[in-house]
Amino acid sequence: MRKLELFVLLGLTATQIVLAICEITGPFRVVSGFIFLTILPGYVILSFFYRTKLDHLGFLAHLVLSIPVSLAIICTLGLMANFLSIGLEIIPNVTWLSTYILFFASISYFRRSKEYRYNLRSNHFLLIIGSLVILFALNFSLSDVSQHSNSPYLRLYVLNNESLTNNYPNQVQVSTPVEILLGVEYGGNTEQQFTLISSHGSKIHFSLSPGETWTKYAKVTLNKPGLHEVTWTLYQGGRNIPQREIRLWMTAY
Amino acid sequence: MNKNTLSKETIFFLITVCISTCFGTFLSSQKVTDPFLYYDIAFVKSIQDERQINFPDVGPYKSLSLAPGRSVILAQYANMMGINPEALQFFPLGSILISATFYYLALRFLKSPIIACLITLYLILNLSHATALYSVFAYGIALPILFGVMLVYMNIFDRREIIDIVLLLLLFIAANFIHYTIATWVILFLFGANLLVGFRTVVDKYQQSYPQAIQVYYLTSALVVIFFTFNQVIYESFLPFFGSSSLEGAAQNFLSYLSFGISENSSPYSFPRSRLIGLVSTFTLLLILVPISVGLIYHIWNHFKHSPTERVINVWTPILGGILLIGIVDSAVYSVRGSISTKAFSILFPLLTLHYFQRTGKRSLAVVVAIILFATSIIKIGAFYENSYLISNDKLNTTIDEIRPSSEWMTKNGPNNKYYLLADLNLYGKYLLSSVNDSKEPIFLSFDDDNYARVIGESSETWKSTPDIIAVDAASSEPLIGFVWGRYKPLKEYADRIINNPAINLIYDDGSIWLAKPVN
């Protein structure tokens, strides 16, 4: 391993250690963490065991073969660390992996005289441009995932009289009222008027501020035997278009 | 290798990896994912703050203990990159790792940077398999390991070093911990390659051509023993699924994949795949398989026609044998489990196809075929987009953020500490992920023909397993994924029938998600 390679490896490892310990997140951490896990573990072990034996192992071959070997190493060492309770939390993880990388990088450096040296100069520019494109794309892919949306919502639901989602009153006696709990949750920008209309004739008006929940125990009475469809339809503001609808099927006997 | 050649290889390498990464980023922005990845991500989220990972014996994460390496790798990526597991789910890791390793494998095998570039882009841009390959899903992590095995195995022909054997062993052990399919592929590859080495050394008396073969025989035997001893997947998740009904389901899925219409016994609720996608897939499959079949027949014919001294010894022949065995066994094995797999054909066989075209002596012909393969993937992107399947300008399904309120509602109001949820596999995955560390856990019940008919009101039979809740993504226009990879029409198409179905109560509506409950 050449001096430049050793410095780059040490630099990348040190960067990851600092970012992890200082809990700095963002694009640099994504790039640093990606290289730290995907390239470095395999690169150093191939430098130590492989490059001196395989005199035509070029930089591209070394880089590419580092990927599967790195995955294999972080998998097996990770399982061992987990088994030994060393842990996969960030600090112990970065510690044992850095120790491993630095150990093999150092001893590879001291064996440098025997090995083939890469001619990197002709590919410097291309490598930098390519790497920038890849790293930009990686960060772009993460840009909108971790944010939670604050989009408006409107929810209508029905629960049984114990506020649970079981034992709905599907079998009822004629003319005997049964109780259920109706709820509306609203998240929007302004206060809104709502109307809840049930299929058996009741109509409830109420208003909700953003983030507010409305609940009401309602009584349903069926006067004729047979199968009944009991629906509740929610209208918002002065609109005639139903916004939400729920329904229970009840057999009266 | 001179400086110019190195530069050309590097240029095409960078072009390949850059385009692949950008495409991966595009898929990430479209929130394309494999439904099984939700299990991995939800589990990683649940153990992120714990010092040690304990794989549960019961519950939705039970199967993850069969491939513990995957969770360990994902947990490390999330920690090291400082991102949450939900973001990691859409990180295009596979696009980068697979494109880099597959490009180099193709380069070594086919000795042409442009063909290697085209064939890699064909694979990465192929939307039929992109959901499994582009992200941190098992294939995205394990396939580079398989390609690593092939690259190391190729070195055995150049020289004889014990480190190669050690590397092969290390790669296999990792593959075994990450994905049982790829572990099987590694064994099949080495087995097939050694079979051909053995055949040629015994029949042709060319022992001097493959002096390293003995070492690899021992290694392959050791890997087989390791696999059958330590890999429990085959006993717990594979053998129980063997059966004739699975075969029938596999045939139907395969016909649907090729879009040769729906067979007589298929479900009336099956999702009809676009004919254009099916046509392109069929054409691609034929373009890949026909030259290999012809080449093989030619190979065998030549073997018996000529005397041994006239037969051409090709160092890549064992590699061909290994890849062939993977394709044949993998498709056969998956078919008895209920899905005829074309993954190996699509991923590995193009190497063989182009190799046979190269052996005709017309190099330009191989380039043309590589361009056609690449073009099929481009056409598929257009066809998928046109059909709003996987990628679209419009929203294709409800996001996990939109799912969260209904999940929290179930956690708050559900009567028990777990509830059986009948849902599309993708939708279930979102519920599983959003309920991590909550007091109530959803247990998956999958859709089959009977359950589907009950939900849309076309069957009044009693439930085999009554779900506590039925979740319907009323906004989804994507196929509903059911039992053994069955694809059903989106429930949105039957919205009126669901609403008017007297067998289920509609108890929750937020505009995107409906939660229903079977009437007692």
The answer to whether residues B404 and B315 belong to one domain is: no
- Tokens of residue B211, six digits: 């002096």
From the candidates B2, B64, B80, which should be mutated to test the interface with A, based on the most A CB atoms within 10 A? B80
Of B181-190, B244-253, B344-353, where does the model show the most confidence?
B344-353
CA-CA-CA-CA dihedral for B192, B196, B198, B200, to nearest 10:
180
Helices B213-230 and B138-158: crossing angle, nearest 10°? 160
Mean pLDDT of A153-166: 91
Q: What dihedral angle (degrees, nearest 10) is formed by the CA atoms of B376, B377, B382, B388?
A: 130
Q: What is the DSSP pairing of strand A244-252 with strand A226-236?
A: antiparallel
- With beta carbons under 8 A apart, name residues in chain A contacting B137: none
Angle between helices B93-110 and B138-158 (to 10 degrees): 20
Distance in Å, alpha carbon of B385 to nearest chain A alpha carbon? 20
pLDDT for res B35? 92
Summary mean pLDDT of chain B: 85
Q: How far apart are CA B383 and CA B461, in angstroms?
A: 39
pLDDT digits (tens, 9 = 90+) for B378-427: 999 999 998 888 888 888 888 888 898 899 999 999 878 889 999 999 99
Could you list the residue range(s) of the whole structural domain that residue B173 is in? 3-33+90-386
Overall domain count for chain B: 2
Q: Which amino acid type is present at position B243?
A: G
Closest residue in A to B498 (Cα) is A247
Q: Are residues B334 and B306 in the same domain?
A: yes
Residue A157: what are its φ and ψ, rounded to 5°? -150, 165
Q: Report H helices in B134-179.
A: 138-158, 162-178
Query: Which residues partner with A231 through β-bridges?
Result: A247
The alpha-carbon gap from B170 to the nearest alpha carbon of chain A, in Å, equals 7
pLDDT score at B401 = 86
Query: B459 and B423 in one domain?
Result: yes
Give the distance from residue B78's alpha carbon to the nearest chain A alpha carbon, in angstroms: 9
Element holding B452 (H helix, E strand): helix B449-455
Q: What is the model's pLDDT at position A179? A: 92
Give the Cα separation of B253 and A27 in Å (integer).
42
Which residues face A252 on adjacent strands?
Answer: A172, A226
Q: What is the pLDDT of residues B213-227, one digit of tens each?
A: 555 677 777 777 777
H or E, element range at A51: none
Residue B27: closest C-alpha in chain A:
A141
**CA distance linking residue B105 with residue B120, whole number of Å:** 10
- β partners of residue A158: A182
Which pLDDT value is given to residue A126?
63
**Partner-chain contact B170 A76, CB within 8 Å:** yes
Nearest CA in chain B to A88: B51
Q: Cβ separation of A248 and B507 shorter than 8 Å?
A: yes
Question: What is the average pLDDT score of chain A?
Answer: 85
Interchain pair B409, A157: CB under 8 A: yes
Evaluate if residue B234 carries a pLDDT over 80. Answer: no
User: pLDDT tens-digit profile of B502-513?
Assistant: 999 999 999 889
Q: Residue B512's closest CA among B488, B495, B489, B487?
A: B495
Nearest residue on chain A to B97, alpha-carbon basis: A67
The structure tokens 């050791």 sit at B222
Question: What is the nearest CA distance from B109 to chain A, expressed in angstroms?
Answer: 13
**Residue B20: closest CA among chain A residues belongs to which residue?**
A134
What is the C-alpha to C-alpha distance for residues B435 and B358, in angstroms, rounded to an integer? 54
d(CA A251, CA A224): 9
* Residue B51: inside a domain: no
**B453-482 tens-digit pLDDT:** 999 999 888 888 899 999 999 988 889 998
Tell me whether residue B48 is in a domain.
no
Q: Which residues pair with B514 in a beta bridge?
A: B472, B509
The DSSP bridge partners found for residue A171 are A251
Q: B343 and B433, same structural domain?
A: no
Between A and B, how many residue pairs show a Cβ–Cβ distance under 8 A? Answer: 282
**Residues in A touching B143 (Cβ below 8 Å):** none
The shortest C-alpha distance from A196 to chain B (Å) reads: 14
Domain stop point among B351, B386, B421: B386
Answer yes or no: do B377 and B407 share one domain: no
Does residue B447 lie in a domain region?
yes
Q: From the list B90, B155, B175, which residue is nearest A141 (CB)? A: B90
CA distance B145 to chain A (A): 5
Q: Are residues B336 and B360 in the same domain?
A: yes
Q: Would the CB atoms of A148 and B401 count as touching at under 8 Å?
A: yes
Q: Is the pLDDT of residue B253 over 70?
A: no
Task: Tell me: do B367 and B435 sit in the same domain.
Answer: no
Q: Is residue B115 part of a domain?
A: yes
pTM score of the predicted model:
0.89
For A92, what's the count of Cα atoms within 13 Å in the CB-facing half-sphere? 16
| B41 domain-assigned | no
Other beta carbons less than 10 A from residue B310's beta carbon = 8
A146 has pLDDT over 50: no
Q: State the pLDDT at residue A50.
A: 74
Alpha-carbon span B287 to B350, nearest angstrom: 9
The pLDDT, as a whole number, for residue B421 is 95
Do B365 and B501 lie in one domain? The reply is no
Whether the pLDDT of residue B57 is over 70: the answer is yes
Q: Give CA angle at B231 (B225, B234), nearest 5°.
A: 105
Residue B39 lies in a domain: no
Give the pLDDT confidence of B122-179 residue by residue, as tens digits.
999 999 998 899 999 999 999 999 999 999 988 876 666 788 888 988 999 999 999 9
Q: Structure tokens of A178?
A: 């049964």
Output B258 or A243, whichever has higher pLDDT. A243
Chain A interface disruption, residue of B48, B185, B505, B510, most A CBs within 10 A? B505
User: Of B507, B512, B514, B517, which to mutate for an interface test with A (greatest number of A Cβ within 10 Å)?
Assistant: B507
Residue type at B405? P
- Which pLDDT does position B515 carry in this prediction? 96
Determine, for residues B163 and A50 on separate chains, whether the beta-carbon distance falls below 8 Å. Answer: yes
Q: Which of B336, B359, B386 is the last residue of a domain?
A: B386
Q: What is the DSSP string of A169-210?
A: --EE-TT--EEEEEEEEEESSS-EEEEEEETTS-EEEEEE-T
With respect to residue B145, please indicate whether it lies within any of the assigned structural domains: yes
DSSP class of residue B485 equals G
- Decide if B177 and A76 are in contact by the 8 Å CB cutoff: yes
DSSP of A67-132, one letter per residue? HHHHHHHHHHHHHHHHHTT---SHHHHHHHHHHHHHHHHHHHHTTGGGS-----GGGHHHHHHHHH
One-letter amino acid for residue A18 of the chain? V
What ipTM is given for this predicted complex? Answer: 0.89
Mean pLDDT of B274-302: 89
The CA distance from B350 to the nearest CA of chain A, in Å, is 20
Using an 8 Å CB-CB cutoff, list chain A residues near B22: 133, 137
Q: What pLDDT, on the 0 to 100 scale, is given for residue B251?
A: 63
CA distances (Å), B122 to each of A94, B125, B151, B331, B345, in order?
Answer: 37, 5, 20, 21, 13
CA nearest A130 in B: which residue?
B14
**Backbone φ and ψ of B16, nearest 5°:** -60, -50
Altogether, the residues listed in chain B come to a count of: 520
Measure CB to CB from residue B104 to each of A33, A61, A74 and give the nearest one: A61
Asked if B381 and B406 sit in the same domain, the reply is no
DSSP H helices, B204-270, are 213-230, 233, 244-258
For the CA atoms of B285, B288, B291, B297, what is the dihedral angle to 10 degrees?
Answer: -80
- Given a cut of 80, whether residue B262 has pLDDT beyond it is no
**Residue B53 reports pLDDT greater than 80:** yes
The lowest-confidence range among A27-36, A180-189, B5-14 is B5-14
Percent of chain B with pLDDT over 90: 48
User: Residue B19's Cα: distance from chain center in Å?
Assistant: 21
Q: Which of B333, B352, B386 is the last residue of a domain?
A: B386
Does residue A22 have a pLDDT over 90?
A: yes
Q: What is the pLDDT of residue A147?
A: 47
Q: Do A244 and B14 touch (CB under 8 A)?
A: no
Q: Which helix (H) or strand (E) holds A3?
A: helix A3-21
Q: Higher confidence at residue A139 or residue B44?
A: B44
Q: What pLDDT does B315 receive?
A: 64
Residues B444 and B380 in one domain: no
Whether the per-residue pLDDT at B98 is higher than 90: the answer is yes
Residues 6+ apart with CB under 8 A from B502: A227, A229, A249, B457, B519
**B249 within a domain of the structure (yes/no):** yes
- B291-297 average pLDDT score: 91
B288 and B437 inside one domain: no
Same domain, B379 and B411: no
